[in-house]
Amino acid sequence: MKNIILFLIIFIFISTYSFGFDNEFSFNNKIEISSYYNSNILKLSEENIDEFKNNEKPDKYHIKSVDDIVTSFRCELALKHYIVAGHTQVDKIIFKYNKCWKNDLKDVKFVGAEVIQYFSKYFDISAKYFYFPYIYINHYYSLLDNEDMYRKFSYSKNVYRSGMNLKFVDLIHFGYQFEYSQNYYNKYFGEYDSDDFKHSFSVTFFPYENIRMKFRYSYKQSLAEAEKVFGDITGLYEIRDASYESNIYYGSITIPIRSFDFAKDLRLFTSLEFENRFFQSQFSQNVDPYHSGRKDKIFRFEGSLIYPFFYIFNLKGFYNYETRNVSAPAGSDVEDEKEYSLKKVGCSLSVKF
């Protein structure tokens, strides 16, 4: 994947300098630094939190605390030009790093590239690629391990996205995005390797000046490799197939708030997202208790207040809430293990140059 990223970077710069003498170009870079409190860094259930606090399973929990402070740095290097028939194109290189102050095993970073091609002010297409080299979830027992011990549950991830936006009139915009993800888990959890496919359809309204309302529906399918991994293994009394399908409903609104104390209007943003996830395991609950017939309901809320100043800066305060409710034929053993809730509260500062 590093070779792919290197190729994209080289391609963008070669394209730029090849046409730069005959085409106007400009930079549109952005840096954002944020810091926030996360109340549940591993998305643990109440049962798991009690186990950690009571030190009941010290080999399972390799964290120093349930909550943490996270500092995030995101950098976008963007080049705007008119290479394709005089139409605007924006090429980006993106990097982000999340640093946890107490639990560094939850540090996350990714690198990516994006190309946006505008054919008019009413139509544009885009393509993106992101690479996550390491994502840590927790420690669990492995069905593929001969030793009776907790193993690190971690993976790497490739994300490919393409999309288009269409504006019929200035008051309403339509969008479509396709996403394909590849998840590669470590050798102890190969059954969770998956190919994910996601289709998203959105409509955005601008009913009044500076007011934006967005609605989106997404359908996601995750195809895990449980049958491939366990196909040649006999004698196992438990199998895990984490394949699932989900329907995701999203809505957001952005409104200005006039204030005589500030030079510019504040912007209030709120969003709600509800995901209905249905696991597709074909095994009985005795064989696959964690996935057979399981249904997850995931709710997410985001609220933020944004203040733009000096034309290039944005100061934002935000609050996020997420919860997951689980229903499974295997009963409370699974539900108590997989349900969780978390809050994030923090602020960020971004600058464009």
**DSSP for 235-287, written as a single string:** S-S------EEEEEEEEEEEEEE--TTSSS-EEEEEEEEEEEEEE---S-TTT
Neighbouring CB atoms inside 10 A of 286's CB total: 11
Q: What is the identity of the amino acid at 271?
A: S
Tokens at 163, concatenated = 């999309």
Is 7's pLDDT higher than 70? Answer: no
Strands 30-38 and 68-81 come out as antiparallel
Domains of the chain from N-terminus onward: 2-352 (2.40.160.40)
Alpha carbon dihedral 109, 314, 346, 48, in 10-degree steps, equals: -40
Q: Is the pTM of this model over 0.85?
A: yes
CA 282 to chain centre: 28
DSSP string, 74-119: EEEEEEEE-TTTT--EEEEEEEEEEEESS-GGG-EEEEEEEEEEEE
Question: In the 8-state DSSP scheme, what is residue 291?
Answer: T
Is 264's pLDDT higher than 80? Answer: no
User: Are the C-beta atoms of 178 and 161 separated by less than 8 Å?
Assistant: yes
Query: In this predicted structure, what is the pLDDT of residue 298?
Result: 98
**Average pLDDT in the 13-24 region?**
53
Query: In this predicted structure, what is the pLDDT of residue 271?
Result: 98
Q: Count of residues for the chain?
A: 353
Is 21's pLDDT higher than 50? Answer: no
**Average pLDDT in the 151-165 region?**
97
Neighbouring CB atoms inside 10 A of 169's CB total: 8
Query: In this predicted structure, what is the pLDDT of residue 74?
Result: 97
Is 48's pLDDT higher than 90? Answer: yes
Is 20's pLDDT higher than 60? Answer: no
Query: In this predicted structure, what is the pLDDT of residue 302?
Result: 98
24-38, 59-73, 101-115, 338-352: the lowest-pLDDT one:
24-38
Confidence label for 3 from pLDDT (cuts 50, 70 and 90): low
Average pLDDT value over all residues in the chain: 90
Alpha carbons 122 and 155: distance in angstroms, whole number = 39
Query: Which residue from 2, 71, 67 is spatially nearest to 40, judged by alpha carbons?
Result: 67
DSSP string, 115-151: EEEEEETTEEEEEEEEEEEEEEEEEEE-TT-SS-SEE
Question: Which tens digit of pLDDT belongs to each residue from 85-118?
Answer: 788 999 999 999 999 999 999 999 999 999 999 9
83-87, 115-119, 154-158, 300-304: the lowest-pLDDT one:
83-87
Question: Which tens digit of pLDDT belongs to each residue from 219-263?
Answer: 999 999 887 777 655 555 678 899 999 999 999 999 998 876 667
Confidence label for 154 from pLDDT (cuts 50, 70 and 90): very high
**Average pLDDT in the 195-212 region?**
94
Alpha carbons 330 and 292: distance in angstroms, whole number = 8
Confidence label for 287 from pLDDT (cuts 50, 70 and 90): confident
